[in-house]
Amino acid sequence: RHQTALRYERDVEPVAQISGNMYRWEGGGGGDEAVVVSEQHLRWAVWLVTSRVLTVQGEEGTGEAHRLMIPLIDMCNHDRASPHVLTGRAVPGGRLKILAGTNVEAGSQVNIQYGGGVAGNDRFVQDYGFLDTLDGGAAFGMVADALRGGAAGGGGGGGNAAEFGRRAAMSLSDRTAALDALGATTIEEDEAELETATGRDVREALAFRIGVKR
């Protein structure tokens, strides 16, 4: 959010003030007139891209990778226990598709594992705005293992161990800063604050702290 605010102040607001047609949203105010894009609009756009963009390899031999917003795939919700798999992202020239791991009944929901099954709640809360609390603590355990600099696959994370090892790589200074921040309060203090917190962002942050500490 802080980075988005800086970007708005640096790139959007100055241009919008000197241009009559740049950074305007037709009907953005509910009427027919165009309104100047606000910081809230930019924040929403950044969240849409962050939560929905997939990195997909280009044609074979080009060495290119593309960050794409692909319709329909983002309709699949996350479930670490889902047997269905999103494939084709990491293969040059591959075709992006969802492979069913079991028979799919008409009208049933098709879920996939976000992050290929090796992402933890640090990525989920930052990129998607939710915490995975239905996986037996695996998504919190992966974060805790990364903070401890532990071996890949710890905390019940499962998934591809090599990929988890890459995601878990944190510098000593980053781990120290994160652990110091977590240690500034006790679980009991976090739980007490969670009982009275009202803002969704604050509640998610507190739930994240509590889950990682446990």
Question: Residues with Cβ < 8 Å from 110, sequence gap 6 or more?
Answer: 76, 84, 98, 100, 104
Q: How far apart are CA 142 and CA 157, in angstroms?
A: 6
Q: Is the dihedral of CA 80, 88, 70, 36 positive or negative?
A: positive
Q: How confident is the model at residue 155 (pLDDT cuts 50, 70, 90)?
A: very low
Residue pLDDT, tens place only, 61-98? 888 998 888 888 888 999 999 999 998 888 888 888 89
The answer on pLDDT for 206 being more than 70 is yes
pLDDT at 9 over 80: yes
CA distance 192 to 143: 23
Asked if pLDDT for residue 165 goes beyond 50, the answer is no
To which H or E segment does residue 201 belong? Answer: helix 200-213
Maximum distance among all Cα pairs of the chain, rounded to whole angstroms: 58
How many Å apart are CA 39 and CA 120, to the nearest integer? 29
Q: What is the pLDDT of residue 25?
A: 80
Confidence of residue 30 (pLDDT cuts 50, 70, 90): low
Is the pLDDT score of 54 beyond 90?
Answer: no
What DSSP state is assigned to residue 152? T
Q: In this model, does residue 159 exceed pLDDT 50?
A: no
Q: Specify the residue for token string 């809360």.
A: 125
Taking the C-alpha atoms of residue 182 and residue 8, their distance in angstroms, rounded to an integer, is: 30
Q: What is the pTM of this model?
A: 0.73
According to the model, what pLDDT value does residue 150 have? 67
Contact (CB, 8 A) for 16 and 36: yes
